Amino acid sequence: MASHFPDPSSFPSMPLSYMIILFILLNVISSVHTFDYFSSCANQFSCGDLRNVGFPFWGDGRPEGCGYPDLYLKCTGNLTYITIKNISYLVKEVHPEKNTLKIARAEYSKGLCPSQFLNTNTDVIDHNLFDYLSGYQNLTLFYGCNVGFPWKILGLFDCPVNGVADTHAYPLLGAWVPIGGFCKYSVVVPVPSTFTVADLANLQAIGEAVKDGFEVKWTVGAKECNECLQSGGVCGYVYDLNKPTCYCKGSDSGSRVCDADAKAPQGYPRNIPRSHCPFYFLEEPWSLQ
Ligand SMILES: *[C@@H]1O[C@H](CO)[C@@H](O)[C@H](O)[C@H]1NC(C)=O
Ligand SMILES: *[C@@H]1O[C@H](CO)[C@@H](O)[C@H](O)[C@H]1NC(C)=O
Ligand SMILES: *[C@@H]1O[C@H](CO)[C@@H](O)[C@H](O)[C@H]1NC(C)=O
């Protein structure tokens, strides 16, 4: 019976043998296959009506390493989605020349009563990546509110919440969290700044504004990417180092900009000497702003 079990004295050597096999495997893989980021990241993202979106985004044909980790575009049924602060947005327009996106909360595409409520931060965008464009203001949609308000509420509507008895909902200008126990949830969405308090009674207009979405400007990578493109490179991102990079033709790694020779159309694929297109980690770190 005891012979069915391995000799306990052999256990300590097992992790080491796994490590050796892994080490050999990794060496074989890296020597045989170097990923061609220059070609892969030259691919543009296209989905439905959105065409030719490149850096700083990645997704669907643009692998990781072609854009900032949080700027992932997902194509589903010809519609493009992006997740910002854990909220899914439909990407309606992309304007690379202005570095702007027009986005709308995905769960509001069919009205003001989504199937699930996600409380939001009062500030909905990630300021490491985006800025608001002017022309928008915050609107808060409260849900799961109880009926006993002592005052008249503009735009009160009914919206059932799973497992919550109170079904009242209402809009309010500004960015708010549920206060005083009147409501269970609040969702903050930017709407055009032309909206007035009187418009809060017009639920159809609110629904359309929320569905139409709002514009944001992405603030990362533009300067570095222009330098890279002008040097004949393709922009990308090094996850391990958390910074953008420039992939050069025929080079197996990124750098800040490419050697001028890399622009030459002939001789692809060619090996650019590393001294001409140095590894990114030999470059002095360059800041994002
Ligand atoms: C996406 O659009 C293409 C071209 O208009 C169409 O052929 C295709 O059926 C659409 N796919 C979906 C999932 O709607
Ligand atoms: C993100 O959203 C999902 C639902 O879409 C939720 O299950 C998850 O807990 C959220 N995570 C954070 C960190 O808020
Ligand atoms: C919405 O409110 C947040 C938090 O007060 C603020 O940081 C943000 O700038 C506001 N958004 C707009 C579009 O005004």
Closest to 253 (Cα-Cα) out of 26, 65, 70, 67: 65
Q: What's the start-to-end Cα distance of the chain, in Å?
A: 68
What pLDDT score does 3 carry? 47
Decide: 122 in ligand 3 pocket, CB within 6 A: yes
* Closest Cα to atom 3 of ligand 3: 123
Does residue 77 have its Cβ closer than 6 Å to ligand 1? yes
Ligand 3 nearest atom to the CA of residue 175, by list position? 2
Cα R_g (the chain), whole angstroms: 26
- Whole-prediction pTM value? 0.78
pLDDT tens for 77-94 read: 999 999 999 999 999 999
- For ligand 1, pick from 78, 79, 80, 81 the residue to mutate: most ligand atoms within 8 Å of CB: 78
Q: How far is the CA of 137 from the centre of ligand 3 (A)?
A: 7
Ligand 3 centre to CA of 89 (Å) is 17
pLDDT for the residue 70: 96
- Using the CB atoms, write b or e for 206-229: b if 16+ within 10 Å: bbebbbebbbbbbebbbebbeebb
Q: What does the DSSP assignment read for 165-211?
A: S--EEEEEES-----TTS-SEEEEEEEETT--GGGGG-HHHHHHHHH
With a cut of 70, list the residues of the chain below it in pLDDT.
1-34, 147-150, 252-254, 260-289
Confirm or reject: Cβ of 78 under 6 Å from ligand 1: yes
Between the CA of 206 and the centroid of ligand 2 the distance, in Å, is: 26
